Structure 1
Amino acid sequence: MVTKARKTKETDISVSLKLYGEGKNNIDTGVGFLDHMLESFSKHSLIDLDIKCIGDTHIDDHHSVEDVGIVLGSLLSEVLYPAKGIERFSNSCIVMDEACVECDMDLSNRPFLVYELDVYGKVGNFDAELVEEFFRAFILNASISAHIVQKRGKNKHHIIEAAFKSVAVSIRRAIAKNDRIGIPSTKDVL
């Protein structure tokens, strides 16, 4: 496990991860819905995660959600790059009842996000707009290029959970070991 911490006036966060784990996790962000999504992310990426966040949730969940994405993404970047002996490219399409979300991914060390989920309003007490904030923080800080696109769906919980699972499965596939490829770039560096 490798660990990264970040403390601001708004949040105090510690994240530990094991890239090639078993999907074990211990997550407490202070935001119940985010905990549920990150537990699912850990399970389906097979990345072991320990996350603790103490945030100013008495204001709202924004800072905690975004800052967890920043710390998790930064730590993932530290363990991914320079990339060598992995697939690098991947995609997955995850169905959850009526919802279907696709994630196409390149572990390029060049961050870019296409986010096309039609989720607004609330899921329980959680502001659905924070999903985009999380993914933007996570993807950009992880230096991943990802397209997260809703193909269909109506239930916000299903759409969001399918998105987290599709990102998780795409990461699992992209980090799959492939020693034949060496450095997976014609530039000879990632």
Structure 2
Amino acid sequence: MTTSRQATLHRVTSETDIAITLNLDGSGTARIETGIGFFDHMLTALAKHALFDLDVRAQGDLHIDGHHTVEDTGIALGQALRQALGEKRGVRRFGHAVVPLDEALCEAVVDLSGRPFLTFDARFDRNRLGTLDTELVEEFFRAFAMSAMLTLHLNQKAGRNCHHIAEAAFKALARALRMACEPDPRALGAIPSTKGVL
């Protein structure tokens, strides 16, 4: 395990300008500014329940819509996670969480596999949550999983309220990431793969 599991990156395109600082061994402190209030709320919940310290400053072409901002934030956060994990020595690698929020229930399963994949099954019967298009929830998770090079299965088990469903999904991901990224004292700094690389 490296002693410092942190990453700072700045990603700039013609559509977005995103700066992220991530500390995997934090206390859940978040400073989030994306210009999309509900998305800020979700990223704050992600940091809180993963116990990551997370600073996100995103400026995007919101005069068009939120797509580029949400997707590019997912890309940047995934890249930051990969950077902070390094070789992934001594981590648990796998994480699983089932999180309720009132009537909603979502499950997240994570494998820090180096093989990006997303299975997403959640249903939203509203087009927007605040100013966030609900279809962008899946776009964030896809961008994050692909850029972090991890396998993510994220499934809604129950729920009717779209706010509750989205929040339970983000919190389930957070708890699964917390488990997967945690140091395993029995691993003795080894890479958790028979291949010797992740």
Q: TM-score if structure 2 supplies the norm length?
A: 0.93
2:107 maps to 1:135: no
Structure 1: 5+ residue runs without aligned partners? none
Query: Which runs of 4 or more aligned residues in structure 1 lie more than 4 Å from their structure 2 counterparts after TM superposition?
Result: none
2:173 maps to 1:157: no
Cα distance per residue 1:90-119 (max 9 Å; x no partner): 100000000000001111111110000112
Within the candidate set 173, 182, 197, 1:189 is matched to: 197
Structure 2: 5+ residue runs without aligned partners? 1-5
Alpha-carbon RMSD across the aligned residues, in angstroms, is 1.0
Q: How far 1:38 sits from its partner (Å)?
A: 0.2
Cα distance per residue 1:146-183 (max 9 Å; x no partner): 10000010000000000000000000011121132222
Residues in 1 aligned to 2:165 and 2:81: alpha-carbon distance in whole angstroms = 24
2:3 — aligned with what?
Answer: none
Residues in 2 aligned to 1:2 and 1:126: alpha-carbon distance in whole angstroms = 27
Other structure's SS at 1:39 match: helix
Residues in 2 aligned to 1:34 and 1:124: alpha-carbon distance in whole angstroms = 9
Matched ranges for 1:89-168 at <5 A: 89-120=94-125, 121-168=127-174
Residues in 2 aligned to 1:46 and 1:53: alpha-carbon distance in whole angstroms = 21
Other structure's SS at 1:37 match: helix
Q: Is the 8 A contact 1:81 1:109 kept in 2?
A: no
1:35 — aligned with what?
Answer: 40
Q: TM-score if structure 1 supplies the norm length?
A: 0.97
The letter of the residue matching 2:92 is E
The letter of the residue matching 1:57 is L
Cα distance per residue 1:120-147 (max 9 Å; x no partner): 4111222100001100001110011010
Q: How far 1:85 sits from its partner (Å)?
A: 0.7
The letter of the residue matching 1:175 is C
The letter of the residue matching 2:172 is S
Other structure's SS at 2:177 match: helix
Cα distance per residue 1:10-51 (max 9 Å; x no partner): 111100011110000111011111000000000000010110
Other structure's SS at 2:186 match: helix
Within the candidate set 19, 36, 39, 1:14 is matched to: 19
Identity of aligned residues (%): 49
1:77 — aligned with what?
Answer: 82
Residues in 2 aligned to 1:189 and 1:3: alpha-carbon distance in whole angstroms = 23
Other structure's SS at 1:42 match: helix
